[in-house]
Homo-oligomer: A and B are copies of this chain.
Amino acid sequence: MPAKAVLSRVGDKWSVLIVIALRGGPLRFNEIKRACGTISQRMLTLSLRGMERDGFVSRKVTPTNPPRVDYELTPLGHSLRGPVEALGQWAYQNHAAILAAQAAFDARAPE
């Protein structure tokens, strides 16, 4: 299944947020961390590694002191924005319907 890698990334909440965060251009490690709201260092590192491995982000190290590391979406990563943002679009337009459906369902099945 070739879509597995994609789904495992898109399914990963953090990866999606990172794609969104990097949409405007490169960011440093801690900038991404802040942009993601609440993400542990561990998960951020892991997510970035995975996305780098998949070719979605590039990592550029500037060995100053203190070190500076910039992450940026690759062309491949940018092309992912299309589908991902389409999904976001859909979520935005339909979340009211979803909430209504949930409320109706829960009213039918109390407890």
Residues in A lying within 8 Å of B, measured CB to CB: 2-3, 5-7, 10-13, 16, 52-55, 76, 79-80, 82-84, 86-92, 94-95, 97-102, 104-106
Contact = CB atoms under 8 A, between A and B. Distances in A.
A38 B110 CA distance: 32
Interface of A is mostly: helix
A53 B103 CA distance: 8
Contacts of A76: 94, 97-98, 101
Nearest to A88: B3
Counting chain B CB atoms within 10 Å of each CB, which of A79, A83, A97 scores highest?
Answer: A83
A95 B55 contact: no
Contacts of A105: 52-53, 55
